[in-house]
Structure 1
Amino acid sequence: MQWTLFLVVAASVGARTILRFSCSQLVVERLDPLVNPGMIPSPHLHQIVGGNGFNATMDPNRADLADVVTCTSCTPAEDFSNYWTAVLFFRARNGTYKRLHTKGNPLGYADATGGQTVYYLGPSASNSVSRATAFRPGFRMTIGNPAYNKASQLARYRQLMYTCLQAGTTRGADTFDFPTKFCKAGIMVTVRFPTCWDGKNLDSPDHQSHVAYPVNGTTESGAPCPASHPVVIPQVFYETLWDTAPFNDKELWPEDEKKQPFVWSFGDQTGYGNHGDYVFGWKGDALQRAMDADCNSDLYGNYLNCPTLKSQSIIKSNRCVKEVTAREELDGWLKSLPGGLTP
């Protein structure tokens, strides 16, 4: 069943290149080197994967992460990038909060100590551009907006979704807001970044203006990039699986069945504030080689299936962790979200 699903996913995506791999949990802490550089701690909590060079500043003047990183929690051994999102909490009926943990993707990566499944997609076979241009050292971007709390605001971002997993193979029935029922196998949160670049700027003041979505569609569907952002880049996207099983207790959920109990670490109870951050850190030309080689690891589960790349086992990826910089109490039932935030 699982491998059949992979074939269906690959066919539906229609991309020439599909890199799919596991990144185990590196650290969970309140740091945000893009939005709040140098601030220790940052306003809200994040879960981070990738290279252990992650820090409070991620100095753009020292752009080549491969020179300062000693390990990566991702299975491609040459990927020292950092990928992060906010952290999901459960708010009990009595008003206290408990942190949810991420878990390894049952479709190939069940042995991972949490973290995310990461994808890099090339353009589809129907796109006039045959290859994606890999990011350069120093490239960074964000997607989504934590201040959003209305469905209408999401028109700017096309692919930020939630899937209520009844089994590890559940796909479809995606929503843009939090599920309102028990999700037996957890909640999968999907974050997809834009696929067009202005070709000049490695970043922008809002960390978003230097990238854009294709015109009237997606790169997978063959839609072209706008003239302002003519360079096709890989589509980076994350699948984060949050373990909700410990909270499938009706006595903990709100008495009003129309309400749901999940809240992001920045205080959002709607789900519309879903967002993600990315800092490029592949070694040398490794990512460009993978894009040019039409690697397709989506068909093979826990096997990278990209001979041009060096890989490491999930067990070794699990060993790459970073010591917490901003120490605080994160476990147990909390009276407020870390940082004193409340919805």
Structure 2
Amino acid sequence: MLRFGCSQVVIERLDPLVNPGMHPSTHMHQVVGGNAFTASMPESDISKLASCTTCHFTEDLSNYWTANLYFKARNGTYKRVPQMANQFNDGDNAGITIYYTSPAVNATTAFKPGFRMLTGDSMRRTSENLGKNMQQCYRCFSEPNFGGSMYSPCLDPKWDTDYFPKQPCPGGIRSNIIFPLCWDGKNLDSPSHRDHVSHPIGGPTQFAIVNGTCPPSHPVKIPQVMLEVMWDTTPFNKPDLWPEDGTQPFVLSTGDASGFGQHGDYVFGWKDDSLQLAMDNHCYLRNCTRLTEQAPSIKNKCQVPDTVEEDVDGWMDELPGGGVGA
């Protein structure tokens, strides 16, 4: 298993996977990874187009992005909830924690240049009722200095839910998004950005149980990717800021106030065979002699210019783009 942080490269209303070429796209995202991120990304080797990355390993020039979270005040205005660095990622500029998991060495086939995928459904507003096998979840941390990922995600329905927490979280909110682990072995993408990948026979498995059997239609086992976002909700935790009717005040940039519509996008961009080598050589967390580390002070300098030019941090009367999900 690899586990490492990627600092924020840009917060912008662009989505080269779902809305390629659209400028701006329908809703806001937090983006991490390489600086080749644009409104339209070619189906080629992204690692050859990027010159830097906000990820811990210099070989990973991929891009990963998720919906932003907003706080809706009693007067109906919105403010973005900032991301914060996860456990062991001290010094990172907000960002996302990335996981790549394999059941054993030589057990998974790394992605190919041009590969991309999407997981989750921005339009979903009901639970998939997967229990411990849920593929996206939230955890409400009850105290500051929560310990981040020392608590395994999506495994305990007592603590993990696929909807937003219903009470203030003194330590912030964690969001986990898990991708499928089977590939058809042919297509680097599909019209839905989902059909070329699949869950194992019998449905999704728990993180990080990645030893399910892939279906004949998708026979190639790929590393399981998981994204982990930490939101600092502490500035919004005073009870008198929350709605008087007792409902929770957080909403995704898609306009989703339930949380069920959380989703993640991925464009592969590892250099050469570096990811395959990491999966096949007992790399664990950030301990990997096959990969090159970089300090937060270096990776935080990698940025993508904001091309949409809209307010991402102030109070606003409506969500950017109007909170459109698709």
Q: What TM-score does the superposition give when structure 1 sets the normalisation length?
A: 0.87
Alignment correspondent of 2:48: 67
* Number of residue pairs the alignment of both structures matches: 311
Q: Which runs of 5 or more structure 1 residues have no equivalent in the other structure?
A: 1-17, 298-303
Deviations 1:155-185 (A, max 9, x none): 9x83100011124226351000000111111
1:116 touches 1:241 (CA, 8 Å); kept in 2? Answer: yes
Paired letter, 2:228: E
Is 1:308 the counterpart of 2:315 in the alignment?
Answer: no
**Deviant stretches of 4+, over 6 Å:** none
CA contact (8 A) 2:181 2:222 kept: yes
Residue of structure 2 in register with 1:37 after alignment = 20
The answer to whether the 8 A contact 2:181-2:210 is kept is no
The AA in structure 2 aligned to 1:43 is: T
Q: Does 1:94 align with 2:72?
A: no
Cα deviation code 1:190-237 (max 9, x no counterpart): 001000000000000000000011123527152211111110000011
* 1:162 aligns with one of 138, 154, 168: 138
The alignment-based identity, stated in percent, is 51
* Counterparts of 2:49 and 2:92, CA distance in 1: 24
Matched, 1:250 2:239: yes
Kept after mapping to 2: 8 A contact 1:336/1:342:
no
Please name the residue that 2:32 is paired with.
49
Deviation digits for residues 69-98 of structure 1 (CA, Å, limit 9, x no counterpart):
111000111100000001000001111100
How big is the alpha-carbon RMSD for the aligned residues of Structure 1 and Structure 2? 1.8
Contact in 2 for aligned 1:103/1:110 (Cα 8 Å): no
Alignment-derived partner of residue 162 in structure 2: 176
Map of 1:228-239 to 2, 5 A cutoff? 228-239=217-228
**How far apart in 1 are the matches of 2:36 and 2:25?**
17
Aligned with 1:151: secondary structure? coil
Residue 316 of structure 1: how far off its partner (Å) = 1.1
Structure 2: any 5+ residue segments left out of the alignment?
none
Q: Is contact 1:122-1:235 (8 Å) kept?
A: yes
In 1, Cα distance between equivalents of 2:89 and 2:210: 28
Asked whether the equivalents of residues 210 and 229 of structure 1 are also in contact (C-alpha less than 8 Å), the reply is: yes
Q: Check whether the contact 2:278–2:288 (CA below 8 A) recurs between aligned residues.
A: yes
Which of 197, 204, 209 is the matching residue for 1:220? 209
Looking at structure 2, the residues matched to 66 and 182 of structure 1 have their Cα atoms a distance apart, in angstroms, of 41
Distance in 2 (CA, whole Å) between partners of 1:84 and 1:233 is: 20
Structure 1 221/321 Cα, relative in aligned 2: closer, same or farther at 3 Å? closer
Residue 135 of structure 1 corresponds to 111
Q: Work out whether residues 22 and 314 of structure 1, in 8 Å CA contact, stay in contact via their aligned partners in 2.
A: no
Cα 1:177–1:70 change in 2 (3 A) is same
Deviation at 1:331, TM superposition (A): 2.0
